[in-house]
Structure 1
Amino acid sequence: MDRLLTLEMFVAVASEGGFAAAARKLGSSPPAVTRGIAALEARLGTRLFHRSTRAVALTEAGAGFLEQARRILAELAGAERELRGAEAEPRGQLHLTAPVMFGRLHVLPVVGELMAQHAGLAVRMMLIDRNVRIVEEGIDVAVRIGPLADSALKAVRIDRVRQMLVASPAYLARRGAPATVEELAGHELIGTMGPRWAAEWQFASRRWRLDAPPRLVVNSVDGVLAAAEAGLGIANLLSYQLAEAVDAGRLISLLADEAPPPLPVHLLFEPSRAGLPSVRSFVAAMKARMRAAGLD
């Protein structure tokens, strides 16, 4: 059986959790998928799945092989797309992901301009305040804010953003403003559930560890902003998220001399997608947008 097809079957069974579901996804039949996996296992000389009447689960060897199989298929798909027209006009589906507010403020305007310029381009955006798995989710380009983990993905830095501690005038009138990092221990803090939240905060000159989790934890930037403006505590957010509220006086910047260091903003994508016209155009447009915005 064709090696590429058996790899596609393997990834589909692992992703869908069963042979029947994989067959439906591939437009094939369960017996054909079963034969394909058997052929792949025979070629590799090892079992890739534990099979039972109720479930299918990856073996240790299968789990180790899965990431390689996904990468092989992704690189082949990228090479085919590049060969079909590295210099062609952006067209087809571009899959993007970005943090919710950053996506609304800075990615959507770029997407709108690109779609106006290229009638054959379609875009699917996932705006979410968590880091999605790029390969598994089929993402072409991801916007990431903060330090990057080591990976085989290509990263293009496009800007950096300031971190700021803020509170409302009402909260400060009631509790006073912390004069030092140490005084934060006596204040109400508003936590988040996103990738930026940590039990240890980095400031300009030192690290400060929270003695206990915040009493209030909110799962979205909009929610944290609303809680801070309502006087429920001190929030640690990014400059672009706070600009409107700070300019309007609804929130006050705190400990400016000890402000946490800026965070880098990167575009992250598989190297095999770097030559795609849609990816190249999006990266160039985002670089231009960030130069004009000057977030830091």
Structure 2
Amino acid sequence: MDRWQAMRIFVKVAETGNFAEAARHMHMSAPAVTRAVASLEEVIGARLFVRTTRSVKLTEAGARYFEDCRQILSDIAVAEAAAGGSYATPSGTLAITASALFGQMHVLPILTEFLNSYPTMRARTLFIDRPVNIVEEGIDVAVRIGHLPDSGFTAIRVGTIRRVICGSPAYFERHGVPMTPADLKAHRIAASTSAWASPEWRFAGDQRVTIDPILQCNTNEAVIATAKDGWGLTRVLHYQIGPALLEGTLQIVLGDHEEPPLPIHILHPEGRHAPAKVRAFVDLAAARLRENRLLN
């Protein structure tokens, strides 16, 4: 077995943490995968994995070799793609992730525009309100709201999003308008239990109010609908109520007390080696999101 193929097998074992799973992904037998890794260990002169009956973990040497192998394999893939033309022309399937409502409202229209421009392309989305491991789930591009941890991925800032308190005009007529964050204690609150949920609502100047919501809903759409019906107040991200603000069915309050907005980034793991499909989509998405007045 050549060194390049053995490196591919080693990387897959490291990513899956399982010899049998790696064998399934690569359409090989488990013994063949084991032999390939053993051959690499013999050539290198160091153990790459610590094996137990329940787990497979990288050794310190294996972890360093894993990162080097990933870079080498990426460089080979770029060279092959460039030789075949796919580095210059978008091709294949593009996988995109974003939070559920943001993806539906703001990423999906960009994605369909992209597909219209490149008819041979295909795409799949993972719009979900939970952290997604881009590498493990085979994602090409992520649109993330919030401050990013240091990941080594390429991140392009494309806008900001406010956290806002809102209610219907009818509610404010009956119950009055809160003038300070502390006034929220006297109002009925519907709160989401989604990824952004927290019983402590923070405001500018390090003001904090612990909320005791009467109603908790597992989706942002539900609390927005409740607020539009005039039942109470809720806190959501600004873009989520854009249509309701234009219609006048919701109004924002306590705007002067808002904490700094959250950044929006387009994220991808391949840096300068990104294939044409990623570069073309990222360029389009960055332009469209920066044009969006709700996000700036």
TM value normalised by structure 2 = 0.82
Distance 1:281 1:24 in 2: 32
CA 1:13–1:228 in structure 2 vs 1: closer, same or farther (change >3 Å)?
A: farther
1:290 matched residue in structure 2: 289
Q: For residue 171 of structure 1, report the CA deviation from its aligned partner.
A: 5.1
1:133 matched residue in structure 2: 133
Distance 2:222 2:198 in 1: 18
Note the residue ranges of structure 1 that are not aligned, 5 or more in a row.
none
1:254 matched residue in structure 2: 253
Secondary structure (helix, strand or coil) at the match of 1:206 reads: helix
CA 1:67–1:161 in structure 2 vs 1: closer, same or farther (change >3 Å)?
A: farther
Aligned structure 1 segments of 4 or more residues deviating by more than 6 angstroms: none
1:223 matched residue in structure 2: 222
CA 1:206–1:37 in structure 2 vs 1: closer, same or farther (change >3 Å)?
A: same
CA 1:66–1:139 in structure 2 vs 1: closer, same or farther (change >3 Å)?
A: farther
Secondary structure (helix, strand or coil) at the match of 1:120 reads: coil
Secondary structure (helix, strand or coil) at the match of 1:137 reads: coil
Q: For residue 265 of structure 1, report the CA deviation from its aligned partner.
A: 1.4
Q: For residue 255 of structure 1, report the CA deviation from its aligned partner.
A: 0.5
CA 1:291–1:17 in structure 2 vs 1: closer, same or farther (change >3 Å)?
A: closer
2:25 matched residue in structure 1: 25
Q: What code does the residue aligned with 2:81 have?
A: R
Moved more, 252-261 or 85-94: 85-94
1:190 matched residue in structure 2: 191
Q: What code does the residue aligned with 2:191 have?
A: I
Q: For residue 46 of structure 1, report the CA deviation from its aligned partner.
A: 2.8
1:123 matched residue in structure 2: 123
Contact 2:99 2:129 survives alignment (8 Å): yes
1:125-184 CA-to-partner distances (Å, cap 9, x unmatched) read 111122311122221111011211122111111222232111345654665432211233
Moved more, 118-127 or 74-83: 74-83
2:234 matched residue in structure 1: 235
2:159 matched residue in structure 1: 159
Contact 1:86 1:275 survives alignment (8 Å): no
Distance 2:83 2:212 in 1: 52
Distance 1:140 1:48 in 2: 28
Distance 1:20 1:68 in 2: 22
Q: What code does the residue aligned with 1:193 have?
A: S
Size of the aligned set, in residue pairs, is 292
CA RMSD of aligned residues (A): 3.2
Q: For residue 230 of structure 1, report the CA deviation from its aligned partner.
A: 4.8
CA 1:16–1:47 in structure 2 vs 1: closer, same or farther (change >3 Å)?
A: closer
Q: What code does the residue aligned with 1:221 have?
A: N
Distance 1:160 1:169 in 2: 26
